[in-house]
Structure 1
Amino acid sequence: MAKIGKTRLDSGWLAARSTEIDLTGVQLTTTHPPSGPSSPWMEAAVPGTVLGTLVKNKLVPDPFYGLNNEAILDIADSGREYYTFWFFTTFECKLSGNQHVNLNFRAINYSAELYLNGHKENLPKGMFRRHSLDITDILHPDGKNLLAVLVHPPDHPGTIPPEGGQGGDHEIGKDVAAQYVEGWDWMAPIRDRNTGIWDEVSISVTGPVKITDPHLVSSFFDDYGRVYLHSTVELENKSSWTAECTLTLQVTTELENDVLLVENVQTEELSIPPGTSKQHTLLPAFFYKPNLWWPNGMGKQSLYNVVITADVKGFGESDSWSHHFGFRKIESVIDNATGGRLFKVNGQPIFIRGGNWILSDGLLRLSKERYMADIKFHADMNFNMMRCWGGGLAERPEFYHYCDIYGLLVWQEFWITGDCDGRGIPVSNPNGPLDHDLFLLCARDTVKLLRNHASLALWVGGNEQVPPKDINTALENDLQLHPLFRTEIAKSEEDLLLKSDQDPSQYLDGTRVYVQGSMWDGFANGKGDFTDGPYEIQNPEDFFKDDYYKYGFNPEVGSVGMPVAATIRATMPPEGWAIPLFKKLASGFIEEVPNPIWDYHKYIPYSKPGKVHDQIEMYGHPKNLDDFCEKAQLVNYFQYRALLEGWTSRMWTKYTGVLIWKTQNPWTGLRGQFYDHLHDQTAGFYGCRCAAEPVHVQLNLASYFVETSSQM
């Protein structure tokens, strides 16, 4: 009997370009499987992308080093077939009795044909959707199974105009996919547009009854002294007979020395007819004064382990699901005093100081270890929010897990950006992606994937743009707040029951605000005009001036981010080690002229002729790379410390929050980062850590008054 539970298929994969394989998928998974990594087959990066696989096998140069990316064939020039690849693996699975097994792909970009032991299934389009196939009846009798997947790139990979631009020619916006891949002012194009099996692959073995997508919601009353845990699950009976099922919910917390304390256990009996699915809402579990989950700087990130188990009479444990869950309530409204969006956690207002997040790695080489380091860096900077920008990913559960652990609230956007969806020259796709139903399917599936995480604070329709009207209306309806989350917490159990016209766990979400776009409804000027930014070097004292930024919450303000000299040497050949030319203008200002490699890696200068004198020259003319980078670190420190201190200076009187563009780089870029792609911090990291400490004393650089501040 196979073991009940999930097994990841993350090793032993092979890959080959489809045009170099004459065999069909049926042949590959029956009579002619590849025997190993011999040409044209190679070791594959799964999870990963085609380009990641080619880099792994040294068949293309590292696109993040120097100008190597220019030597890699772009899909616009090669055609989609060039980056259409076979992926092949084997796995063992032999069932017995009333066991069933599903093959799961958590994400594929962009569509695929799947062959298992000679049987074919089409995996439909969409970068942000899960695929789960019942393969019980097509497993090989001896338990050794052959799997081949033919992965196709996005339908509209687009071309890269010679002048570059935000999102290339915007064609990628016609698909439901990450949009940064055509290049941006901080990112070179990704040549395969991230084609591949880029997220987890697994098989999951169950008994007759399968658990799918449980939804957990906590509701509070009596001044957070008492709480209900609501839970709704989807149950599917895969057998040919009525399943008498015992559903158990258990909540535990971990004490010292790995001791588990059981906080709550409850069971319910139900019958599920053969071959049917049903949604079942358990009776709410009651807790008295549970430990609450707080954002970074406000308290502990208390997490409980929730386990839901389905036992079937005559079979035993059929399926089990677990998740770390934090009891907390997040509220978000437009603040009357500032006009900015105000967040409250567990009834306490929180001043937002955080950053914009693109993704961990531009080639989607994602790992738990890298995510852990990324998120811990943000917590160490005393940040309390990360915004997942709409041109990047619906971030992965591992990302959210570490945000739960380290207390980073997350603003998650869907896949709309103004640059690719409704503006630009020529005007990009004014109606967003071509397939609106596909967009909504991916959005709803993303909500189900992420909604149980304590750190998830806000859904946003898009970056500097709103989704098309029909999509936006559907999202507003799907993500409307449950009555319990539209008002203050209930004062009594009777009040709670009056508000609960329906169990909140039956909603798709119902606990977090949905905002249509990143510059609407309390962000920037709230009307969608371009009132975020700026994105360049500033005089440090300007951040403190009353006329620097007029609105209550700036979702994007950016500046420099030069890394240390060791990073330049590790990521560029010697010709890239030349520091910029300092061109003295008649006005007395300096224009920095970087070398071509720095320019390709999106270097942003430390001067702005006519406004900001060169901040590096303030410390003396740099002699060489080490001297330049050392002086740049001094500027990085003071630039970002002053930025955050300027916002802190008017905490609650003018501002409710600020998010810096951006905190990190998904490649070896030279702007807007507090640590580089090699995970080496810039001095901006330490400037932020100082300025955002929970209790902070600072000098107002405009008034020269000494000020103090507190996180809350």
Structure 2
Amino acid sequence: MTYRDLHEGWTLSAVGGTPVPVAGVAATVPGCVHTDLLAADLIPDPYLDDNEVELAWIGRTDWRYETTFAWSGAAGERVELVCAGLDTIAEVVVNGTVVGATRNQHRSYRFDVTALLRPGDNSIAITFTSAYTYAEGVRDALGELPNAYPQPFNFIRKMACNFGWDWGPTLVTAGIWRPIGLHSYSTARFDRVRPLVTLDPDGNGRVDVHVDVARVGTDVPLLVTARVGALSVTGKVTEGADSAVVELVVPQPARWFPRGYGEPALHELTVTLATTDEVPLDTFGRRIGFRTVELDTAPDEIGERFAIVVNGEPVLVKGANWIPDDSFPTRVDRARYAARIAQATDANLNLLRVWGGGLYESEDFYELCDAAGVLVWQDFLFACAAYPEEEPLATEVEAEAREQVARLAPHPSLVLWNGNNENIEGWHSWGWRPAVDDRTWGRGYYLELLPKIVAEVDPTRPYWPGSPYSGSMDRDPLDDRYGTKHIWDVWNRRDYTGYRDYVPRFAAEFGFQAPPTFATLRRSVSDDPLAPDSAGVLHHQKADDGNGKLARGLAHHFGPAADFDEWHYLTQVNQARALTLGVEHFRSHWPVCTGTVIWQLNDCWPVTSWAAVDGDGRRKPLWYALRRVYADRLLTVQPRGDGLVVAVVNDAATPWPADVTLVRRSLTGEPLATHVESVRVPPRSVHLVTVPERLAAAGDPARELLVASCGQWRRALWFFAEDRDIDYPAPDFAAEVTPAEGGVTVTVTARTLLRDLVLQPDRVDPAATVDEALVTLLPGETIRFQVTGLTTAAAAELTSAPVLRCVNDAGRLPR
């Protein structure tokens, strides 16, 4: 058996007329048309300024990839052309003969080319029909269905966000986007290997390895051997059969745990196929993890729980939604996945939700999550639209789902399959019903087909029909008492303090926008000067009335920004405060609310969005806020009734004995009232400390704050007024820059209160990063920012605005 990549020598040509002649351009495989045209310097970078608009013709064009290769095969072998991913509507021709057609980006394909190959030079041509042409044709045949955007993404099995989203560009791709090659084999090969990994009640691990084989001209018996560590078991694919199950028991294996609950132990599984005289034919290998996972939806006094339970323990989910990390996915390699997942774990996240308008990600993504103990919630790929259940889509949906469920079955990090994103809510609440009438819209997928496939192909994992969803089509999908909740009236219509109006069972989507870091914005937009409403900045704002919502968000707390630098800083502060308030509120209601999955971790290009990590991979201030609010141990001041409480949140495995010190202070630092209470918070629980009335009410709300602390830096602050009404002192501090390994240390000592101090070294050098942000210092306190990628030559720029600034900078707020 041999496998040979066919990644060299490809050329790209347009089929038909184009604004830019494209014929025989060198192509990179895997890749896509946009990246090939960009590499050939035939188009400008679609991520810069408004270049995206002038490149819309690419998605409306048909394209052909061609290559030649030398071949000399062995007699008796079958040779298959293996296409791991074609995007999307493709006809595949080998040596002038059509061998197959594809219409699903989310599937792989094999074509038998044994009879077509010849010694010497051979040719492959793959012609891609425009995704628009195909999708619009299906739409015209089946009838328009409602969706959130005026694009036909719901009529084609392709990455939906290629067609534009409220954070993404409209860049409709085509190309050979995953590996392609020739697989030669004799006798038999694995067609599919599906290990189902479970734990028995006595703690023994069980691996049921389901194998399907493809044979070449023989029905002889075959041997299948499964091995984990030193243990192995051999079974037989009987004569004439094409499948078998091999069962392997591993006594008391080290279990796989999510972050914060134990080590994510992994074990090497190897499965081999051989003849009965032990001639090897094929091998499959994966790292697996032994763990149990359940979805607890038991009724309780409120409604029904929604808790992800791993190894018998409910997990407090601290998560974020994941979108494709680039509009051109082949640019996301293992190193980039690793960097993004490290940013997630460094911010104390334990779950990533792979959102339904994107992709089933590559093996790299899931393997890295396995190793890091990051839970994965995987949406099936349906988002924000009514989807037809007729042909030609129904067969594609079933084949795609069966392939992807089987492919991802070995990964212990994957703990939940979710039917769709917001489609049930759309049916219930977005006015779809008159437009849909008596036609299909996806319900059969979410309530019948997909749960059936998961039960058949991978019964070791739970399935949930959609998010948001309340467990029944007869309930409002946004009912706080059941299931998963998305909260978008906050951001769209209300101030972020509105998060406190909800206590959901599980908050699966909520977010607040901010622009990217300065270096990312400056690289992608050439406006001079930059302004919130300058042409390039507005083009990189895809949300409906996005900048208006940002302005209204500022108005609630700060009033209007004085200039661009202030707008940039304050909107980022507002984003971080919004998510901090929401997450802290929801965490304070554990175990009623069992998780938060903020929208969103990452971006696919440089854009103003809800992300914590921007399109160039830089951390926005929100990222630093998430690291604090997702810490295992958290103090937060919360309004309850007519007063205040301090929620002492302990998501650690050990008790938290804590002396909670409450001090009402003046902004100049003088203590006005004090209370100390000793508590012992059990593991995975929350304890509420009532704030005495003399501390919960300010004598002068504009000049006082409440400080709750356990030690110096684990603390929570409560201001009694909005920023626009607080009498902040002009900031007064000492700042010093000293050399440090890899960069410099910026030491700031406050002489006055400094609220939400942020150091933005990327304004000095785009390569510079800082270890902390959004630090509030009381008079006399010191913070040391560790900056990498800079030298002391930049010292003067690091100690003043706009690089170093806080909310109470002189002249910032109206007096």
Structure-2 change in CA distance of 1:387 and 1:631 (3 Å): same
- 2:655 is equivalent to residue 695 of structure 1: no
One of 173, 192, 195 as aligned partner of 1:216? 195
Using structure 2 for the length normalisation, give the TM-score.
0.69
Is 2:297 the partner of 1:334?
yes
1:45 maps to 2:17: no
Distance 1:610 1:52, change over 3 A: closer
Correspondence 1:247 to 2:185 = no
Pairwise CA distance, 1:269: 4.1
Within the candidate set 536, 544, 559, 2:491 is matched to 536
1:320 maps onto 2:283 in alignment: yes
Listed one character per residue, the Cα deviations across residues 589-642 of structure 1 (whole Å, up to 9, x for unaligned) are xxxxx3232222127449667776355669xx55554x5444444444433333
Counterparts of 2:167 and 2:477 in 1: how far apart (Å)? 23
Structure 1 residue aligned with 2:154: 173
Gaps of 5+ in 1: 22-37, 160-164, 252-261, 422-428, 482-506, 581-593
Question: Partner of 2:251 in structure 1?
Answer: 288
2:377–2:415 contact (8 Å) kept in structure 1 = yes
Aligned pair partner of 1:302 in 250, 260, 265: 265
- Deviations 1:558-587 (Å, cap 9, x if unpaired)? 102322211111111033x5233xxxxxxx
Answer whether contact 1:182 1:189 (CA < 8 A) is retained: yes
Q: Which residue of 2 aligns with 1:278?
A: 242
User: Cα distance 1:39–1:552, how it changes in 2: closer, same or farther (>3 A)?
Assistant: closer
**Separation (CA, whole Å) in 1 of partners of 2:183 and 2:260:** 39
Q: Can you list the C-alpha shifts for 1:318-358, whole angstroms capped at 9, x where unaligned?
A: 11111111111110022534534111011111011211222
Structure 1 length-normalised TM:
0.79
Where does 1:26-425 land on structure 2 (aligned, <5 Å)? Answer: 40-74=23-57, 80=60, 82=61, 84-96=62-74, 98-142=76-120, 144-154=121-131, 155-157=133-135, 167-190=148-171, 193-223=172-202, 225-238=203-216, 240-251=217-228, 262-273=229-240, 278-282=242-246, 284-313=247-276, 316-337=279-300, 339-365=304-330, 366-418=332-384, 420-421=385-386
Cα pair 1:700 1:707 within 8 Å, conserved: no
Contact kept, 8 Å, 2:447 with 2:465, in 1: the verdict is no
Give 1:514 deviation, angstroms: 2.0
Q: CA RMSD in A?
A: 3.1
Question: In 1, Cα distance between the equivalents of 2:36 and 2:581?
Answer: 43
The percent of aligned pairs where both chains have the same amino acid is 22
Alpha-carbon distance in 2 for matches of 1:681, 1:157: 37
Give distance in 2, aligned partners of 1:180 and 1:39.
26
Instruction: Check conservation: 2:586, 2:596, Cα contact below 8 A.
Output: yes
Bigger radius of gyration? 2
Find the counterpart in structure 2 of residue 570 from structure 1: 523
How far has the Cα of 1:64 moved from its partner? 1.1
- What CA distance in whole angstroms lies between the structure 2 residues aligned with 1:470 and 1:643? 34
* Pick aligned residue for 1:436 from 385, 394, 398: 394
Q: CA separation in 1, counterparts of 2:72 and 2:444?
A: 46
Instruction: Output the CA distance in 1 between the equivalents of 2:477 and 2:106.
Output: 26
**Are 1:668 and 1:677, in contact at CA under 8 Å, matched by a contact in 2?**
yes
CA distance in 2, matches of 1:610, 1:322: 54
Instruction: Return the letter of the residue paired with 2:325.
Output: S
Secondary structure in 2 aligned to 1:579? coil
Change (3 A) 1:156 1:137: closer
TM-aligned CA distance change 1:524 to 1:532, over 3 Å: farther
| One-letter amino acid of the counterpart of residue 516, structure 1 | P
Contact 1:47 1:200 in 2 (8 A): yes
Q: 2: distance between equivalents of 1:599 and 1:39?
A: 31
Higher relative contact order (CA 8 A, sep 6+): 1
- Unaligned segments of structure 2, at least 5 residues: 138-145, 425-440, 480-484, 653-683, 685-815
Change (3 A) 1:432 1:666: farther
Of Structure 1 and Structure 2, the greater strand share is in: 2
TM-aligned CA deviation for residue 98 of structure 1: 4.4
Q: Are the counterparts in 1 of residues 67 and 123 from structure 2 also a CA contact under 8 Å?
A: yes
State the Cα distance separating 1:178 from its structure 2 match: 2.3
CA contact (8 A) 1:330 1:457 kept: yes
Instruction: Confirm or deny: 8 A CA contact 2:11 2:26 kept in the other structure.
Output: yes
What's the CA shift for 1:650?
0.9
d(CA) in 1 for partners of 2:280, 2:269: 17
Aligned to 1:645: 584
Q: Is the 8 A contact 1:111 1:126 kept in 2?
A: yes
One of 7, 25, 29 as aligned partner of 1:10: 7
Alignment CA distance shift 1:221-1:108 (3 Å): same
Provide closer, same or farther for how the CA distance between residues 272 and 468 of structure 1 changes in structure 2, counting only shifts above 3 A: same
How far apart are 1:241 and its partner, in Å? 3.5
Name the SS for the 2:396 alignment partner: helix
CA contact (8 A) 1:234 1:278 kept: yes
C-alpha change, 1:39 and 1:624, in structure 2 (3 Å) is closer
Matched AA of 2:170 = P
Instruction: Sort the Cα spacing of 1:297 and 1:200 in 2 relative to 1 into closer, same or farther, 3 A.
Output: farther
From the superposition, tell whether residues 556 and 204 of structure 1 become closer, same or farther in structure 2 (CA, over 3 Å). Answer: same
Amino acid at match of 2:206: Y
The question of whether the paired residues in 1 share the 8 Å contact of 2:85 and 2:108 is answered with yes
Deviation at 1:446, TM superposition (A): 1.9
Contact 2:554 2:570 in 1 (8 A): no
Give the CA deviation at 1:685.
Answer: 0.9
Question: Is the CA contact (8 Å cut-off) linking 1:188 and 1:600 kept in structure 2?
Answer: no
Work out the number of aligned pairs and report it: 611
Structure 1, 677-686 or 380-389: larger mean CA deviation: 380-389
Name the amino acid aligned to 1:370. Answer: R
The CA distance in 1 between the partners of 2:79 and 2:447, in whole Å, is 37
Q: Name the CA shift for 1:574/1:348 in 2 (closer, same or farther; >3 Å).
A: same
Would you say 1:519 and 2:468 are equivalent positions? yes
Partner AA of 1:613 in structure 2: A
Deviations 1:88-128 (A, max 9, x none): 23445533354433221122122222122333212232222
Q: 1:128 to 1:629 in 2, by over 3 A?
A: same
Kindly provide the CA deviation profile for residues 138-183 of structure 1, in whole angstroms up to 9, marking residues without a partner as x.
33224x5432211223244559xxxxx9653242212222222332
Between 226-235 and 66-75, report the one with greater CA deviation.
66-75
Q: What SS does the aligned partner of 1:569 have?
A: helix
Aligned to 1:34: none
What is the distance in 1 between the residues matched to 2:506 and 2:570? Answer: 31
Q: CA deviation at 1:234?
A: 0.4
Query: Cα deviation per residue 1:271-321 (whole Å; 9 max; x = unaligned)?
Result: 444xxx611111x21112111111222222211121111122568211111
Q: What SS does structure 2 have at the residue aligned with 1:676?
A: coil
Letter in 1 for 2:491: E
In 2, Cα distance between equivalents of 1:168 and 1:432: 21
Change (3 A) 1:480 1:128: closer
Q: CA deviation at 1:136?
A: 2.9
Q: In terms of mean alpha carbon deviation, does 385-394 or 514-523 score higher?
A: 514-523
Shift in CA distance, 208/290, structure 1 to aligned 2, threshold 3 Å:
same
Q: 1:298 to 1:202 in 2, by over 3 A?
A: farther
